[in-house]
Copies of this chain bind each other. A is one copy, B any other.
Amino acid sequence: MDYFVEEREAFNDYLREQWEKPESRLEESMSYSLLAGGKRLRPVLFLATAALYRDDWRNLLPFALGIEMIHTYSLIHDDLPAMDNDDFRRGRPTNHKIYGEALAILAGDALLTGAFGFMSDIPGEKGDKLLRAVNLAASRSGYRGMVYGQSLDVAAEGQELTLNQLREIHYHKTGDLMVLSLTCGAILGGAAEKEIEAWEKYGENLGLAFQIVDDILDEVGSFADLGKTIHSDAESEKNTYVTLLGLSEAKKAAAAAIEEANASLKEISRDTDVFQRLSQDLLVRKA
């Protein structure tokens, strides 16, 4: 991606600074997964949204790190033998393959806990606004948010789903974290309530499109492109947009979600061109 460059660089610098010197075996395992690379999409979306509303968005880097820590913990736990049982992630062995199951579980727990530590300690931010964002992060990533989505996903294993059921899973599993990134960015940026709602809608549809494209890439991508075992979802008989809709209809559904996402951007008073490009580009992402 050639946009959000400043936010991504600032985030990667801060991330490295915080995590390149682990002080225990536990922190080493956390750092292993945190520094494994990836697009940093969620923290960058958070920072870029905040940056539309305030110049000193760098002050919010700890909150961005918290978001990435939540995302990273969810991947570690998701890869566990009792869950998806994946051996590779981003081209490297998964956390439990290196550190063992026990430490991988604890690394996930520690990343999740630490996320709230970073998010709740930002000097100079107004207490009430920061509390609102922390609270939103907890609810969007918890038992009625992301973890709920994961639990539906686990229950769906081996079951044939309807499109609505699949959509509900991904609404929570993927969408909630996108929504939280964008809305927390807007809240901490100081956006008006109406605009916070528009970011929410944008995030919901971006998350949906993102998941559909992910399913498509899983079907037609290559190991080298994605760094994880291809067709693992299909082999474990998971429901995906591709298995449910077919490749062509799945592409149409992604396009429709992008269109809705971009419609929401029109309600926002700032220059959101780059967000429009981001969602548009999802459609041509190595697929």
Chain A contacts with B in 30-47, Cβ cutoff 8 A = 30
Q: Which of B101, B114, B131 contacts A130 (CB 8 A)?
A: B131
CA distance A106 to B143 in the complex (A): 9
CA distance A101 to B112 in the complex (A): 19
Chain A contacts with B in 107-148, Cβ cutoff 8 A = 108-114, 116-117, 120-121, 126-128, 130-131, 134-135, 137-139, 141-143, 145, 147-148
Contacting chain B: which of A20-28, A192-200, A204-212, A251-259? A20-28
Q: How many residues of A contact B (CB 8 A)?
A: 48
A80, CB-defined interface residue at 8 Å: yes
Contact status A147-B101, CB under 8 Å: no
Given contacts A105-B77, A116-B116, contact A25 B110 (CB under 8 A): no
Given contacts A25-B151, A105-B83, contact A120 B131 (CB under 8 A): yes
A155, CB-defined interface residue at 8 Å: yes
A1, CB-defined interface residue at 8 Å: no
**Nearest-Cβ distance from residue A39 to partner chain B, whole angstroms:** 23
Contact status A127-B131, CB under 8 Å: yes
A224, CB-defined interface residue at 8 Å: no
Number of identical protomers: 2
A103, CB-defined interface residue at 8 Å: yes
Contact status A113-B147, CB under 8 Å: yes
A102, CB-defined interface residue at 8 Å: yes
Contact status A154-B103, CB under 8 Å: yes
CA distance A48 to B286 in the complex (A): 58
Q: Which residues of B contact A49 (CB under 8 A)?
A: none
Q: Which residues of B contact A95 (CB under 8 A)?
A: none
Given contacts A113-B142, A147-B26, A148-B24, contact A135 B106 (CB under 8 A): no
Q: Can you pick out 10 interface pairs between chain A and chain B where the beta carbons lie within 8 Å of each other?
A: A25-B151, A77-B106, A82-B100, A82-B105, A106-B151, A112-B113, A114-B143, A127-B130, A131-B131, A131-B134
Using CB atoms and an 8 Å cutoff, list the residues of chain A in contact with chain B.
24-27, 30, 73-74, 77, 80, 82-83, 100-103, 105-106, 108-114, 116-117, 120-121, 126-128, 130-131, 134-135, 137-139, 141-143, 145, 147-148, 150-151, 154-155
